[in-house]
Structure formats: C-alpha cells, structure tokens
Amino acid sequence: MNPTDSLSGNHVDELRYLFITSQVELLDSDESIAQLKFQSQSETVSVGVIDAEGKKCDRCWNYSTHVGKSPEHPILCERCVEAVDGKF
C-alpha cells in the first residue's frame, strides 16, 4: 500500500488539522519539492506549498474535493455536512 495514501490507515490527512491547512501529502522525494515556488528544505525535513485541490467550503473555509457532493448541503465539505447533520 502506498504510504502517502490517506486511506492506508496512517492518517496522513489528519495532519491538515495540525498544520491548519486544507490538505497534506507526504512525498518520498525531495526533487518534487525543490521545484516548487514556495518551499523550504533542511537536513531533516522538506516542506512545499501549493494550492489545495477542490472548492472552498462556505462554513469552514477549507478547500475540499467533496464540496458540492451533498445534495442537502451543496456548499459544504464532508466534515461540515456531518457537523450540521449532528453526525460528528
């Protein structure tokens, strides 16, 4: 299983709450980060920043590829849909 896959059980996607970002992706190559406009590298860690995928949720302002997938709440992300439906 791919270690960068948030469905692999390693909870990579949960890092977005720690970093207060819309998305987090782990990469195993410094070369892809070195090409980014906004990036920083040290001996132990490399970080790159790009625009998040998806649309902005009107409730939490996070970007998500799930905005618009709920017919009842077409302007909300998956997390906010659960919150307003009381399923959190």
- Residue 43 shares a structural domain with residue 3: yes
Alpha-carbon gap, residue 85 to 38, rounded angstroms: 38
pLDDT, tens digit only, all 88 positions of the chain: 344 444 456 778 788 888 888 888 888 778 888 888 898 888 888 888 889 999 999 999 999 999 999 999 999 999 999 999 998 7
Domain of residue 85 covers 53-88
Identify which of 77, 75, 25 has the alpha carbon closest to the alpha carbon of residue 51: 25
Residue % of the chain over a pLDDT of 90 = 39
Burial level of 28, CB count in 10 A (0-12/13-18/19+)? exposed
- Residue 11 shares a structural domain with residue 39: yes
pLDDT tens for each residue of 69-83: 999 999 999 999 999
How many structural domains are present in the chain? 2
User: CA neighbours within 13 Å on the CB side: how many for 59?
Assistant: 15
The H-or-E segment that residue 41 falls in is: strand 38-41
- Residue 68 shares a structural domain with residue 88: yes
